[in-house]
Amino acid sequence: MIKLDISEEANEDMFDIWYFIAIENANPNNADKFIEEFDEIFYIIARNPLIGAARDEIVKGIRQVVFRGYLIFYFPSKKGIEIIRILNGAKDILKEMKK
């Protein structure tokens, strides 16, 4: 069985994304759909943990997949993945990863 863990920070990132779409853009249906699409991408990554680009300059062993302008950072393992952060690609990634 494939293991998929999502860090507290990544869950907060997803909530912030949902909130921005649902509340600030007044479109809760699209927000829900967007989060569902993230879940689908997570399982694709979990089944293919080396699919993402290595980003050792950020943290050794971390990988990144780009999805709809967001960067999904995760650590692969033999059993699956751990999603660490989900960040807007327009942000200062190094600064955000240190939070």
Banded model confidence at residue 43, pLDDT cuts 50, 70, 90:
very high
Q: What is the identity of the amino acid at 70?
A: Y
Domain coverage including residue 47: 3-97
Q: What is the tens place of the pLDDT at every residue in 47-81?
A: 999 999 999 999 999 999 999 999 999 999 888 89
DSSP string, 24-55: ISS-HHHHHHHHHHHHHHHHHHHHSTT-SEE-
Tell me the two tokens of residue 11: 């869950």
The pLDDT value recorded for residue 78 is: 82
pTM above 0.85, yes or no: yes
Q: Whose structure tokens read 């863990």?
A: 5
- CATH of residue 49: 3.30.2310.20
Query: Does the pLDDT value for residue 98 go beyond 90?
Result: no
Q: What pLDDT score does 77 carry?
A: 87
CA 38 to mean position of chain CA atoms: 7
The pLDDT of residue 22: 96
What's the rounded Cα separation, in Å, for the pair 84 and 98? Answer: 12
Over range 12-23, report the average pLDDT. Answer: 97
DSSP helix/strand/coil, 97: helix
Tally the domains of the chain. Answer: 1
In angstroms, rounded to a whole number, what is the distance separating the alpha carbons of residues 28 and 25? 8
